[in-house]
Structure formats: structure tokens, C-alpha cells
Structure 1
Amino acid sequence: MYIYDQFDRTFLQQRVAEFSDQVERRLAGQLTEDEFKVLRLMNGVYLQLHAYMLRICIPYGTLSSAQLRMLAHVARTYDRNYGHFTTRQNIQYNWIALKDLPSAMADLATVGIHGIQTSGNCIRNTTTDHRAGAVAGEVDDPRVWAEIIRQWSTNHPEFTYLPRKFKIAVSAAEEDRAAVLVHDIGLRLLDDGNGRAVFRVMVGGGLGRTPFVGKVIRENLAPEHLLSYLEAILRVYNAEGRRDNIYKARIKILVHELGAEEFSRRVEAEWESIRDGYLKLDEVAISDIRSRFRYPDFEALQDAPSELVAALMNPAFARWHENSVGRHKVPGYAIVTLSLKPVGGPPGDATAEQMDAIADLADRYGFGEIRVAHEQNLCLPHVRQKDLPELWRELDAIGVATPNVDFITDIISCPGLDYCALANARSIPLAEALTERFADLDRAKNIGRLHVNISGCINACGHHHIGHIGILGVEKNGQEFYQLTLGGKADENAALGQLLGPAVPYDGVVDVIERVVDTYLDLRQGEDEIFVDAVKRLGVAPFKERAYVAD
């Protein structure tokens, strides 16, 4: 956990006071909605289909138990008793009244969380691997660098009003769990071969109306130059990015139109003038940030303790352990994923009662730390293996132990037309219908790893382009239709899905997906070939041939 200092606390208190005054003037009619819009967006407040929505920043997806309890308090006191965790490791409240926003933000500030820069054309919450600091093989803890970026980017005077929103992700493990290749800037920490960590820098990734996978513009950036190099990238984008067309304003369009080589040349030229200036990080500054992270005092334990071995005789526990428990870098410990994807429920939602209970379990079993995953699940990153049986029983009692992580019902979904004014189609009811169709856990295990992503409109908040099966809601003559793509993926070999065929009406989507899955099961080369690899080998043609033929 990162320990905030007095500067952070004072900054949040001042920001709450400032926003409270803005809300008061809006309620009094002294500000129009258009005048208020730019102010509320910089504090994470959207005007959605039915009400205001408050998006809260969870820096690099790390929460303390006290912070999670406060999120539960806000859900219970100001909203409708739940929150929605997002693909950017944030949480959203969909029903907060405007008059209650200052009180909610004041409460959140007491535990160091806020909505600053979770919306607007600025640098958004920097995201990273939800297993950071717990998984083996990392070059470094990427959260240290995400925190450095957070401090540099918050209220940056030059980048407060960019051409468009801007997203940065950092990863440091062999497996990319932060989807860095589909961000405006993606950073991979690598070993340079001499035991020194360096950054591979990628730019121009992004989804939405015009999706792109990021391009590498520098292979071995020394850590001390991280901020100056990011500053150079942002300066080039801020100066040359389109402002006349919202659909062409993201950095991905600039990189595409200039070409990665030319864009890199311009960044390098800008960087030369600032690389050894005030943004150069020395070891004192890096060590100061690193020292503010508190790591658990791990015990000397052995893997596979007797308590775990005995519990594995229970088939239900064994299924959960195989699906939801990951290997920790320290012997005797484990990483536990909490599924927020119940059968028939909205993906990514957690009730206030669940959040309170998870905070208690984190204190009891996980050093008081919780992570938010890109996949809209939660994670306890440091759990003693001998505590897993009792933890499982308590997680199961509150409905977050469904053993479907990475299976077809572990669906990523945006809120869609149920909440969002931009959406063309519903996402949540479709996700619920899919979880019901594929609820049988034996069947889901046989299908294996298969990621389904649903977006209710072309803005792609559900990241449908990089789903193994991607679903995009579109409107046709006033009716909901859905385009399907196959073969996308968000890992270190990120790829965009290929269009399957004609859009499908709402009532036919689940049947079409079932036929796609059955085709995969018939054609895969053994149980080890996962769905996305079969699509890569076969192409979409055999899936299309069977998907549109009714039984």
C-alpha cells in the first residue's frame, strides 16, 4: 500500500471545498449546465441517462480495507447500495444526487480517494497489473512508477485540456495483465540484459471508433528519464493533435497519420531539450516514492500446507482453488481473485454489504489490501495458503466465489443503455443472459479460457475489440443489434478481433455465440488449444458458416 502524505490530504481537502462551492452555485442557478460541465468533469462527475454518475479513482487499482469500507459507505449513504468497478480500475456510482456530491467527496477524501481526472480531456488514472508486487518474475513493482506518473500528471498545467482524454498503463511481468498495447501510452518494464530495468514505450494504442494496437517508439528508456519522455510525448500530442474533430482527436490518429517513425522523431527532438532538466528522476526521488509503499511482513511458510491439502479433498473447494487462486512469489502465500460475475448478475457490481465484508476478510486474511482488476473483478494479493479454505467459505457466503475466472461467464461489460446516454444498445441484460446460458461450470471448464467483452456503443468502454468474442451494440431502425468479432486479445500479443458477419438482433445473440462456441469445441486441436488460438489458426470463416445457421 502507498502511504499518502500531508500534501495529498491538504490537496484533497482544498479540492473538495472548491467543488462544493461550484455545486452550490450550480444549484443556485449561478452556473449553467454548460458552464458547470467542464468543472464537474475534472472531478469525475458525468450527467448520464437518468442521473449524475460519480467515477472514483483507484490509483493503480490498489485499495486499503479502510478505503473499501468508505466506498461501501458512499454506496449505502448516497447511492442505491452498490458500486460498479470498471476496466480502468475505478468505481462508478450511477445514482448520486447533485446536492449529495460534495458530501460524498468529503467522505472519500478522509481516506485519500477522489474523482479527480477520472474524466475530461486530461491524463486519466494510470492503471497497472492487479497482481503487481505479488507475482513472480516482475522486473520491478510497476505501482511505484504508476505513483510517480500520478504525482506528475495530477493538475499538470500544460496537459489539463488536451485534444482528448489520455490513458497510460504500466506492466512489469512477463504476462501483460494491464492491456498496455491498447493505451495512449503503454509502458513495459523489462530487464535490459544487465540486470537493469528499462521501459519499452508504446504509443497510439486505443479502441473506440478507430481501434489501433500501440506502436513501439523506444525500446530501452532509462527509468530516470521516464517523466521527461512522457512530457515530450504529451507536448507533441498537445501541439499537433486534432481539435477540430472529436473522432480524430486521440493520439492514435496522430501516430497513424504521421507514422510511428515520424512521430518518434518529433518526440525525440522535443525530448532532447528537456531530458536532463527538472523532470529527470534521481535515486533520492525514486527511493522516496518507493519508501512510501508498505509491503506485508511475510512469514516463512511452505507451499501446500496440511490445511490446504485436506481441503482439496472437497470437490467444490478444489474447483475454486484451481480457477481463482494464483501462484504468489512468496512460498506459502497465494493470490485470490474474487469474481464479481455472478450468474444472472451485472458484471463488475458489488453491493455495500459485499464491500464491507471483503474489507473485513482483507484485514483477517490479506494484510488489509484489495486490488481492482482490469477484468472488473477484485483480488486479495497476499493470502496465506493455509487460510484459503476458511476464506473460500466466507467468500462463497457473500457471493464472490464463483469459480468462473477467465471462463465464458467472466464477462467484461460497460453499463450500456441501462445507464449511459451515449449507448445504442443494452449491455448488462445481454451479459446476464450469457451467464445464464453458460452457467454450468463443468461446461464452462470444458470450453476453457474464453473472454467475452460487451460494449453498448462504438466508444468501446467494454473493450469489445480485444475480447476473444467481442460484442458491439448498434442501432438499426430503432432496434438493438449487435456486431460480433472473434480473435481479439489484450495481452502482451494484443490483437483486434475480426468481424464475424452481419449484426444480430438482441434476441439472437446468445444463440449465435453458443453456435460459435460449439464450432470451437468441434474443431479445436485438443483441450489445450484455447478459443482465441483456434480462431487464429482457423480464421473466422468456419465460425461464420455455422453461426448464422439456426438449429
Structure 2
Amino acid sequence: MYQYTEFDRQFVHQRAAQFRDQLERWQKGRLHEDEFRPLRLQNGWYVQRYAPMLRVAVPYGELSSRQLRVLARIAREYDEPEAEVYRKAIETQGLLGSHKLPTHYAHFSTRQNVQYNWIPLSKSADVMDLLASVDMHGIQTSGNCIRNITSDERAGIAVDEIADPRPYAEIMRQWSTLHPEFAFLPRKFKIAISGAAEDRAATGWHDVGLKLVKNEAGDIGFRVQVGGGMGRTPIIGTVLREFLPWQQIMNYLEAVIRVYNRYGRRDNIYKARIKILVKAEGQRYIDDVEAEYKQIIEHDGAPHTITQEEFDRVAASFVPPTLATRVLQSAEKTDAELRAHAADDVMFARWLARNVAAHKNPALRAVTLSFKRLRQAPGDASADQLDTLAELADRFSAGEARVTHDQNIVLPWVHAEDLHALWLAARAAGFASANVHLLTDMIACPGGDFCALANARSIPIAEAITERYQDLDELDDLGEIDLHISGCINSCGHHHSGHIGILGVDKDGKEWYQVTLGGSDGSALSGTPQAGKAVGPSFSAAEVPGVIEAVLTTYRDTREGGETFIDTLRRVGHDPFKAAANGARFKVEEAA
């Protein structure tokens, strides 16, 4: 993973000191609330429904065990609301039933960030100092700027990788951090980059999606998509360049964002994203970007061209870690031992099949630890769990872990011969569910339990579906299904890209849920990225589990051969599923 330079380290420590000064001036009344608000937002501090929320940047998802231990300490010592605040929060959650609002937790988001929901602002400067002590911060995790740049969680280790995207992502991070021209864009701006044949970073759904490719001559470059996004208007990005030489990517990004900054809507927050500009202007936007790019190259001296020397300097920080010195047994012996363990324990066999991926180094594997379990919100991790995760990373993965787009954790440097020992340790910690890409490996935003923007709660819906589908035999029979849940149209739970999407909506001041089918994030499982289609009017919270069950029963009744859910849906169309979903509503009404 990237190793901070002395400049990097000095920068985040100075930023933490600046924030402490700003906080103290606000507490003393020397900064008005309207003056302090943009300052705290620029450091990742929101004020949500009941309490502040901190968003911590995790560039391209990489975390060291040392960082994990500090994140655990922050959860344990600081993520605790005042008693009166928590009491009021619980009282307003009338439909939660047995659900409790978690404290002393961190939350892994779909943007490969880490969030906390209860840290008082009075303690925020202490938290920033702690983050800086392990090369972490919240800079540009909020505001109308270029946000955390995301990537494939298998970057640098994937067997289908064309080139490692992390050095490029790091160069972009350094370029975009505090970029004076792009500090106040019309709206927030998100970049994703993938270096593999399979798009595991959902690049098509981003303001800018970058995919490393090779041309016929074998040269490396980027396929550039611009104008993707979810929200009220789900749009897949438009391809501006099928191949752009890698050396020019920064100059081209400069042109893309300059044109957006110049012409993007600032009079309407719902029409301010670059996707609206690209959709409205079409070829004119593309022509303007090309003209701006030409100006940068021919007249401005191409100032952001990445030299080989600069690339090598950054890439040197991404060399594989030094693994513990040991005498490895033969691959044949390792395979035989794993087969024997799998024959003895079906749960281990399932885990090997679902949670373990091949690695560039034949002696190693990439292992996904599932953070999807009953009575715990998707992506949540307690302080104790974070400490345990750090221990597992140290013991099995050279001290490194990675946050995934799907709100799980990957250990990227696991010796194949250690897989059974890792499984035993992960099972003891509750991280060994063999459900990766199955129904209960769902994505969900924090929703109305925490977020001031949400129309409805996501967590109780996720819990109800998880509780209904606890039988792994049934989950295996259903096969690979992406279920995504968002508490509002802002789509932090990426419901548009789910094979099954659930969207919280407000109807007469009450919580309702719209169900969509057929979405895709662009992965090998889903195919070409696209937005799902609604199956009808919204459903009550009580109806949603039955609706999902009816949809899945229809799938089982109509699938052919080894079809997955998305395959069957595309073959037979939405109508049978729509009829089943709406039929489930009437059954609930009759029972009531």
C-alpha cells in the first residue's frame, strides 16, 4: 500500500492543527456557525439527523493494521452520543422493533470510506489528531470538490489485471487535493479507476470512470467515461475516449473538469452534477472538452503530463509487501490439504468457493471477510471487530486490508496454505460467512437511522431480509444476486445498480419502499451497467420481505439450467416479477 512521504505526513498534521484552531474559535464564538460549517465539511465533519458524522478518507480502499487499530480506538473512545441525544434518537425510531442504534462502531461505505455517526464536535479535533498519527484524514470527503478516488479492491493482485491502477489513483489524489480551481465545483465529483478486465469498481456509474486498457501496439492508456451517476437521474457515463495515453490522463481530466466547472448548473442542486451537463449538451460538451484539452497541450505546455520518472516515484510505494520469511510447502501439498479440509467441513468448502479469489502470485490468495451478519447493519464494524481485523491482517496478510465497494473487507496477501487457519480465526470472529455475492451480501446505506437526507430506514429492511434468508443451502440455490438498499434518492446504497434495488421514499410523511429489478454495476456477474426498473407502486416496510420472497419464488419457478437471477430476469422480462411483487402486497393486506 502507499507509503506516506514526509511531505504527506506534514500536510495532514498541519491540516489537523488548522482544524483544531478553527474548532476552538467556533467554540469561543469567534467564528459564526455559517463560517465554521464549510471548514468542518472540508474535513469530513457533517451534522446529521441526531449527531455529527465523520467521514474518513481511505484512498482506493487500502488500510494498514496500524490504521485499523486507530479506527478501533476512535470507535471505542469517541463514537458515543450524549445520553439525551441517544434517548431522543431511540424514541423517534418507532418502527425499529428490536433494532438498536449502534454505538462504538465504524461504518464501511460504498465509497471505500469509513464513517462514524456519534462523535461529538467537541471531541472532533482530538479525533483528527489521532487520524493524522496514522496518515489518515477527512480532507475532501465532503463538499463540492473531487472526493475520495476509488478503485478495485484487488488492485495490484488481480489475475485479470492489465495494469495496477493504484499509482495513477495516487497521482490523481495528489493532484486533486486542494486543487484551487476545483475547490468549489457545481457539485461533488467522484472518480473511479479500474485496471482489470472485469470492472469491480463500477466505473460507469461515476462522474469520471477510468479503465486501463491496451491498444493494438500494446501501449497502456485509459478508456475515459464521463457523466455517470445515480441519484434522481441515473445515467451511465459517456465514453469520451476509447484510448488516451496514460501520460496525458491528468491533462485530460483537467479539461473535463474545467468545462464542467465553467458550464455546470449552480442554480439547482438536483441538476448540478456533471451527468446533467453531459446529457443536456451531448456532443457539444465533448467538443468543448477536446478544445480545452488541445489548449492545455498545445498552448499551456501540457503541465500535468505524467513523466515516467514521476510515475516510477509513486509506483515505488506500491511494491508488494515483504511477507514473513518461511519455507512454503509445495502447491500440490497445499491443494491436497485444502481438499481434505473441504471434504471434512462443507462450510469451509463453501467459504473457499465464495470468499477466496486467485492472486497474481500463485502461492497467495485474496480473501473476502464478510461484514454481513444478522443483527448488524451491512458495513458496520464494532471497535472490537476492527481490532480483530487488524490482528487477522497482521497474522495472515502482511498487515494490510482493503475496503470493498460492497462494504466488506479483503485480505490481499494470504498464503494459500494458511487458508484453513484463517477460516478458523475468521469464523471465531464472525467474519466467515460464505455469502459473498449471495443475497445476504447486500449493500445498504445508513438510511433514516442516521442520515438527515433519508426518507426511510435502510437498516431494518436489510435486517428483515437477512433474517428471512439464513439458510445457506437456500442462498446457494438462489445463486448470485446483488441486493442494494438506499434510504433516499441520493442513492448512497446504489439501489439503481442492484439486480434487486430497494429505495426508501416518503409518502404522506410515512416510510415506503420502491423496488427495482435488473440493475447492474458493470461487473462480470452483472454485465453491462444499467439502471433497474421499478416493479410498481411503493410498498410498506411490512410488505418488503414478502415482495422480495415473491420475486425470488418467480425466479426459481422460471429459471432454466444454470441461470442466475439476472439471466432469468433478462430472458423472461419484468412482467412476471412485477405481477408477483404486487400480488405479495395483497397477501399482506389480507393477512392484516
Same fold (TM over 0.5): yes
Structure 1 CA distance for aligned equivalents of residues 302 and 255 of structure 2: 12
Moved over 6 A (4+): none
Question: Which of 391, 394, 405 is the matching residue for 1:374?
Answer: 405
Structure 1 CA distance for aligned equivalents of residues 73 and 496 of structure 2: 35
Could you say what secondary structure the match of 1:383 adopts? strand
> What is the CA deviation profile of residues 261-304 of structure 1, one whole-angstrom value per residue up to 9, with x for unaligned ones?
22111101001111342211110011101012231346876264
Give the stretch that moved more between structures: 442-451 or 327-336: 327-336
Could you say what secondary structure the match of 1:150 adopts? helix
Q: 1:32 offset after TM fit, Å? A: 2.7
Matching residue of 1:494: 529
Matching residue of 2:194: 171
Preserved CA contact (<8 Å) 2:347 2:434: no
> What is the CA deviation profile of residues 114-167 of structure 1, one whole-angstrom value per residue up to 9, with x for unaligned ones?
100001000000000001111112111111111010000000000000000000
> What is the CA deviation profile of residues 7-41 of structure 1, one whole-angstrom value per residue up to 9, with x for unaligned ones?
00110111001111111122222223222111111
Matching residue of 2:338: 308
- Residue 424 of structure 2 corresponds to residue 393 of structure 1: yes
Could you say what secondary structure the match of 2:318 adopts? coil
- Residue 16 of structure 2 corresponds to residue 16 of structure 1: yes
> What is the CA deviation profile of residues 378-423 of structure 1, one whole-angstrom value per residue up to 9, with x for unaligned ones?
0001111110111111111111111111011111001111001111
Structure 1 CA distance for aligned equivalents of residues 116 and 202 of structure 2: 24
Structure 2 CA distance for aligned equivalents of residues 134 and 65 of structure 1: 19
Could you say what secondary structure the match of 2:63 adopts? strand
Question: Which of 238, 263, 266 is the matching residue for 1:240?
Answer: 263
Q: 1:229 offset after TM fit, Å? A: 0.3
Structure 1 CA distance for aligned equivalents of residues 133 and 217 of structure 2: 44
Q: 1:105 offset after TM fit, Å? A: 0.7
Matching residue of 1:120: 143
**Identity across aligned pairs (percent)?**
53
- Residue 164 of structure 2 corresponds to residue 141 of structure 1: yes
Q: Number of residues paired by the alignment?
A: 549
Preserved CA contact (<8 Å) 2:354 2:435: yes
After TM superposition, list the pairs within 5 Å mapping 1:92-103 onto structure 2: 92-103=115-126
Q: 1:193 offset after TM fit, Å? A: 2.4
Question: Which of 276, 280, 297 is the matching residue for 2:305?
Answer: 280
Amino acid at match of 1:279: H
Q: 1:218 offset after TM fit, Å? A: 0.5
Could you say what secondary structure the match of 2:296 adopts? coil
Structure 2 CA distance for aligned equivalents of residues 104 and 288 of structure 1: 31
Structure 2 CA distance for aligned equivalents of residues 490 and 70 of structure 1: 32
Structure 2 CA distance for aligned equivalents of residues 148 and 124 of structure 1: 14
Could you say what secondary structure the match of 1:510 adopts? helix
Matching residue of 1:356: 387
Q: 1:344 offset after TM fit, Å? A: 3.0
Preserved CA contact (<8 Å) 1:44 1:116: yes
- Residue 255 of structure 2 corresponds to residue 226 of structure 1: no
Amino acid at match of 2:9: R
Structure 1: tracts of 5 or more residues without a match? none
Structure 2: tracts of 5 or more residues without a match? 80-102, 588-592
Preserved CA contact (<8 Å) 2:200 2:522: yes
Preserved CA contact (<8 Å) 1:305 1:332: no
Amino acid at match of 1:263: Y
Structure 1 CA distance for aligned equivalents of residues 230 and 210 of structure 2: 17
Give the stretch that moved more between structures: 112-121 or 360-369: 360-369
Give the stretch that moved more between structures: 52-61 or 327-336: 327-336
- Residue 343 of structure 2 corresponds to residue 343 of structure 1: no
Q: 1:530 offset after TM fit, Å? A: 1.1
Give the stretch that moved more between structures: 473-482 or 123-132: 473-482
Preserved CA contact (<8 Å) 1:86 1:348: yes
RMSD over equivalenced CA pairs, Å = 1.2
Amino acid at match of 1:421: A
Amino acid at match of 2:321: P
Matching residue of 1:522: 557
Preserved CA contact (<8 Å) 1:75 1:83: yes
Preserved CA contact (<8 Å) 2:160 2:198: no
Could you say what secondary structure the match of 1:273 adopts? helix
Could you say what secondary structure the match of 1:474 adopts? strand
Matching residue of 2:544: 509
Matching residue of 1:7: 7
Could you say what secondary structure the match of 2:60 adopts? helix
> What is the CA deviation profile of residues 338-360 of structure 1, one whole-angstrom value per residue up to 9, with x for unaligned ones?
10100232000011111111111
Matching residue of 1:427: 458
Structure 1 CA distance for aligned equivalents of residues 30 and 568 of structure 2: 60
Matching residue of 2:571: 537
Q: 1:97 offset after TM fit, Å? A: 0.6
Give the stretch that moved more between structures: 325-334 or 458-467: 325-334
Give the stretch that moved more between structures: 485-494 or 225-234: 485-494
Please report the TM-score for the alignment, with normalisation by the length of structure 1: 0.98
